[in-house]
Amino acid sequence: MKITTLFGPGTGGPADFYRIPSVITTDSGVTVACADARFCSGRDNPNRIDKVIRRSEDCGETWGDYITAVEEHGTEHTKSSAAIDPVMVYVPEKKRILMVYSHTPAGTGILNSVCGTGFDKDGNKLLSGRFGTYILKGEKVFRSNGRETPYTVKENGDIFKNSQSCGNIYTGGKLKETHTSFLMICHSDDDGLTWSKPRCLNTQVKKDFMSFIGPGPGCGIVIEKGAYKGRVVIPVYFGSRAFPLQLSCTVIYSDDCGESWTLGETPNNTRNIRGKKANCKKIRQSEMLTESQLIEQEDGTLKYFIRNHDKRRSAAVAYSRNGGESWEDFKWDDSLPQPICQMSVIKLKGTEKPTVVFLNPADRQNRANGTVRLSEDDGETFKWQRLLKEGGFVYSAMTQLPNGRIGVLFEPDTECREIRFTSFTTDWIKGGDE
């Protein structure tokens, strides 16, 4: 089995640290891989984190040069902005790749994101300064009472007082972006070669009580049948306060190919906890539901696979029969061990039986022993399994390649230095030779 280091030192990329894989394949047969390029260290935000892309036109045999899809600001840990945790999905109707990620300004991460959207009721960006809250309208800055100030902010975040430079709202200066998390989206209409200017989804999907918000990470889906055919569904999770964390997963969905979005209900508002209906604002740490992935089953039901903090260390699952608007039948699948870590899952196309592939570090204690599992009953049971990588194994993402093989992008250890690519067949999972 061929294994390629796709992102990492010495591969021509802009950074020395890489994490968080996402990978999709377009209708034209191009495989597009995405990762966090982390500049100051391998750790999460606060950090300088960009979004980088590599493309393959031959089912992962060879890969093109690095493409920076999203470029952030700064050179120091606490003085840099971040674009962290990608989810990509391919929308056939528009032949468009969507990428959703979480943006945070300097000094901000999951543990200190404040509650709120970062915008006023009219959709204007809020800024903080020495004398309180300011409002950015176009390039002009106004006080909260509506009085215009001498400050202007350029598209790249640079601040000017009259003609004098005063820093950058993302990295620090006279005015700063709100210290919260911003759910962002950008797209590519040319198989990942070029990317649009990102736009923020907070005013559509983030509620005022939410602190952190971030996607997946991994991949989204487009529903292929039934009443919700064509709906784009992206897994996300959010916090209901800054610290201590209260995290819950859900999805956002779009019925217009990604132009507008709606927030679904979290299972942490529909499942039962300690004999009562759950409330995402009142959960304990052991009840958190975080990173998630999903598939569409044959009858149009969505099945949700969820990282969680329960002491049994098994993947949680739930089902949606309304296109991701809400979740029911929540339970743990003790046949899918997890050490509190992201997992990936994919429904294959063109198979005789409804075939689902699941991949994660199959250990209840450590992020280790990446194990791939195969189901031929729509992801209900996984009859076959095979060890993909012994030892360290962390996040992953999967795509079905044009030749039918399953392409996998994965983190091989906890060093945060590289992301590797390989591919295999369902026969290999069943024990066949490569």
Cis peptide leading into 339, omega within 30 of 0? Answer: no
Quote the mean pLDDT of the chain. 97
Report the pLDDT value the prediction gives residue 224, as an integer from 0 to 100.
97
Query: 23: pLDDT confidence band, cut at 50, 70 and 90?
Result: very high
Q: Which residues of 238-255 are buried (b: 16+ CB within 10 A; e: fewer)?
A: bbbbbeebbbbbbbbbbb
Q: Which residues pair with 422 in a beta bridge?
A: 408
What type of residue sits at position 400?
Answer: Q
Considering the domain delimited by 220-401, tell me its CATH architecture: 6 Propeller (2.120)
Q: For the segment 226-280, what is each residue's pLDDT rounded down to a tens digit?
A: 999 999 999 999 999 878 899 999 999 999 999 999 999 999 999 999 999 999 9
Q: Which residues pair with 324 in a beta bridge?
A: none
| Domain ranges for the chain | 119-177, 220-401
Domain 119-177 -> CATH class: mainly beta
What is the distance between the alpha carbons of residues 340 and 363, in angstroms, rounded to a whole number? 9
Would you say residue 322 has pLDDT above 80?
A: yes
CA 95 to chain centre: 21
Q: For the segment 165-198, what is each residue's pLDDT rounded down to a tens digit?
A: 999 999 988 999 999 999 999 999 999 999 999 9
Cβ atoms of 332 and 307 within 8 Å: the answer is: no
Q: For the segment 339-375, what is each residue's pLDDT rounded down to a tens digit?
A: 999 999 999 999 999 999 999 999 999 999 999 999 9
Report the pLDDT value the prediction gives residue 243, as an integer from 0 to 100.
80
Report the pLDDT value the prediction gives residue 131, as an integer from 0 to 100.
85
Would you say residue 210 has pLDDT above 80?
A: yes
- Is the pTM for the entire model greater than 0.75? yes
Residue 276: CA count within 13 A, CB half-sphere: 6
Query: In a 10 Å sphere around its CB, with 0-12 CB exposed, 13-18 middle and 19+ buried, how is residue 347 labelled?
Result: buried
Cβ atoms of 250 and 323 within 8 Å: the answer is: no
Query: 158: pLDDT confidence band, cut at 50, 70 and 90?
Result: very high
* Closest CA relative to residue 176, chosen from 213, 151, 145, 147: 151
DSSP 8-state code for residue 267: G
